[in-house]
Amino acid sequence: MAAPPPPPPALPDDVVVEEILLRLPPDDPGCLFRASLVCKAWRNAVSHPRFRRRYIGLHRHRAPPVLGFLHDWEDGGIPDFFPTTASPFSLAAPDRRFWRPVDCRHGRALFLSDRRQETQELLLWEPITGARRGIPVPAAFRCQWPAAAVFCTADWCDHRDCAGGPFGVVFLFAGEQDRHVVTSACLYSSETGTWGKLNSRQDEFTMEFQNHSSVLVGRSLLYFLSDGGTILEYNLDSGVLAVLDRPPDDYGRGRQRFNLMLAEDGGLGVAEAIDFQLILWKREASDGTDARWVLSRIVDMDSFFDPVTLAPVLGFAEGANAIFVKIIYSLFMVELQSEQAKIVCSSPGFCNLIPVVGFYTPHSRLQVPGGEHHSPAPWLKQLGRGGQQGVWEEKSLEWAQVLFDEGCMAINEKDLAYTADCFRHVLEIRVRHYGGLAPECANTFYHYGGALLCKAREAANRSGTNLRGKGQTDGNMTGDGDDSDLDLAWKMLNTARVIVAKSPEKTMEKRTETNQSVTTSKL
């Protein structure tokens, strides 16, 4: 009797883990993120460029998911990046108190600095890698509400994983010049680091671009929509700036009820909300002035809900073929191909939404805002109790716990700067939810202060200076308003002490300096 064949060789554990992680759903990136927190080996696996290439290749036949959206609604309870995924997930977007999002495409988001600053600039942010790059605005820029668009310029790129490569930016603005209203646009190239020629045209009135973002058709045509409903076309090849007519008013459209999108054939389209229907238009391709708008299709929203009146279309997700629309007091995302809709949140206050579309894989290190434009200032006095209730509140607290765990892991790796950043974001979330002196925040105040203190000690050891700073003068841990790591550390630790003194029954985790282990003790 023949002997049975030998069993196949066992696969190494790391190979088995990678094969399992590759099959996590791309439309729920929180799963992959939490997997990266299990251990260092898993984090190294999912953050490797090879894993990302395989992950995207495995899902090459499906559209990239909508991870969430950026917005400029001035509500402190709503995060700068609002997730649309099933489980808690976040990206460390630039603080909208300092940066207004204006566009997102091809793995890059574009922001404009607050117009109250003396010198404005653009900020390029890659949501997946966390990389940032400043771009000066054109010298001729003079207006309050410009428009801008970012796009990949790499040849033969399929735009599924093009972060880090060459890109272009188109900046569009209108204003008065020699007693005439002039609309101007110019093109920036990352390869040369300069703006090209300014192309201008005279118009009858000044246009503002606060409530709409751009749409890219093919590789050479960008379209913008002004707040007044004017459609502008910018040709990337020729630099010509032109004004297009709008779709007909057959359905009684108001100028604030529609938004630009891509039509089914990849050309320019428009989506407008009328009563409880979505009216989709497309611009027929033709040569010269014979182009015209034709009705593409009508989506009846009463098939998902009771008949309601739709509010304006608030954004279009390029690559995912989805739009955002407000219905009464809720925000919905509608996938146009399947005509399926899902609720995103129950907040009525959004205006212009800029979707973030792409395949998410964790970076080797979570990226969090840093630098003078991104850090909270002054300290945490601007963070009051309250904020948005409901779905986001639950998700934000879960995200805070994820960041807290990540900060504790970073301590073991002696990455003190990253530890402090994690605990800072945890503190912001918990203070917004519970209040500045709530017992639930004592633990976070203590850990944040401890991380800052260790960070300051490490910096002092490198420079050979004395750690005792003005925050320690006469043994008083209050500081005098300076926002250095040491002074901020005393503020955090003192706040934790005050909270625990008011609630002595509360205990908190304390990290000892000798063995870096976590024990439980009272302050």
User: Please, which residues bridge with residue 292 across strands?
Assistant: none
**Region for residue 52 given its phi and psi (left: phi exceeds 0; alpha: psi -120 to 50; beta: otherwise):** alpha
pLDDT recorded at residue 475? 35
91 CB-contact burial (10 Å; exposed 0-12 / middle 13-18 / buried 19+) = buried
Residue at 514: amino acid letter: T
Question: Residue 169: pLDDT above 90?
Answer: yes
Question: Residue 375: pLDDT above 70?
Answer: no
pLDDT recorded at residue 205? 79
Q: How far apart are CA 451 and CA 232, in angstroms?
A: 51
pLDDT recorded at residue 425? 83
DSSP 265: T
Q: How far apart are CA 429 and CA 360, in angstroms?
A: 23
Q: Which of 33, 131, 125, 124 lies closest to 85 in space, CA to CA?
A: 33
Cα–chain-centroid distance for residue 218? Answer: 25
| Residues in CB range of 291: below 8 A, 6 or more apart | 244, 283, 284, 285
Mean pLDDT, all residues of the chain:
77
Q: Which of 376, 486, 321, 395 lies closest to 97 in space, CA to CA?
A: 376
pLDDT recorded at residue 152? 92
pLDDT recorded at residue 104? 94
* Sign, CA torsion 515/517/521/523: positive
Report the range out of 40-54, 114-128, 497-511 with the highest average pLDDT. Answer: 40-54
pLDDT recorded at residue 168? 94
pLDDT recorded at residue 42? 86
Question: Residue 235: pLDDT above 90?
Answer: yes
Give the pLDDT mean for 114-123.
78
Q: How confident is the model at residue 286 (pLDDT cuts 50, 70, 90)?
A: low
pLDDT recorded at residue 232? 92
pLDDT recorded at residue 149? 94
Question: Residue 516: pLDDT above 80?
Answer: no
pLDDT recorded at residue 216? 94
Beta carbons of 380 and 436 less than 8 angstroms apart: yes
Q: How confident is the model at residue 511 (pLDDT cuts 50, 70, 90)?
A: very low
pLDDT recorded at residue 482? 37
Question: Residue 234: pLDDT above 90?
Answer: yes
Q: Which of 274, 147, 120, 115 lies closest to 212 in space, CA to CA?
A: 147
**What is the DSSP code string of 378-407?**
TTTTT--S----SHHHHHHHHHHHHHHHHH
Q: How confident is the model at residue 325 (pLDDT cuts 50, 70, 90)?
A: confident
Separation in Å, CA 173 to CA 119, 143, 182, 267, 495? 16, 7, 9, 24, 47
pLDDT recorded at residue 223? 94
Question: Residue 385: pLDDT above 60?
Answer: no
* Sign, CA torsion 431/79/405/451: negative
Question: Residue 221: pLDDT above 90?
Answer: yes
Across 183-197, 253-267, 476-490, least confident range: 476-490
Q: How confident is the model at residue 473 (pLDDT cuts 50, 70, 90)?
A: very low
Across 86-100, 241-255, 434-448, 507-521, least confident range: 507-521
Across 108-117, 265-274, 339-348, 504-513, least confident range: 504-513
Cβ-based neighbour number of residue 367 at 10 Å: 19
pLDDT recorded at residue 350? 75
Residue at 395: amino acid letter: K
Q: Which of 379, 362, 364, 367 lies closest to 487 in space, CA to CA?
A: 379
pLDDT recorded at residue 388? 38
Question: Residue 69: pLDDT above 80?
Answer: yes
Give the pLDDT mean for 24-52.
87
User: For the chain, what percent of residues have pLDDT higher than 70?
Assistant: 78
User: For the chain, what percent of residues have pLDDT higher than 90?
Assistant: 16
Q: What does the CA dihedral 326, 332, 336, 341 come to, rounded to 10 degrees? A: -130
Give the pLDDT mean for 468-472.
44
Question: Residue 384: pLDDT above 60?
Answer: no
Q: How confident is the model at residue 509 (pLDDT cuts 50, 70, 90)?
A: very low
Q: Tell me the three state secondary structure of residue 492.
A: helix
Across 68-77, 209-218, 354-363, least confident range: 68-77
Walk across the sheet containing 66-70 and list its strands: 81-83, 66-70, 354-357
Across 12-16, 83-87, 233-237, least confident range: 12-16
Instruction: Report pLDDT digits (tens) over 268-283.
Output: 999 888 777 788 889 8
Q: How confident is the model at residue 96 (pLDDT cuts 50, 70, 90)?
A: confident
Per-residue burial over 387-412, b = 16 or more CB atoms within 10 Å of its CB, e = otherwise: bbeeebeebbbbbbebbbebbbbbbe
pTM comes to: 0.69
pLDDT recorded at residue 74? 65
Question: Residue 368: pLDDT above 70?
Answer: no
Q: What does the CA dihedral 306, 309, 311, 315 come to, rounded to 10 degrees? A: 50
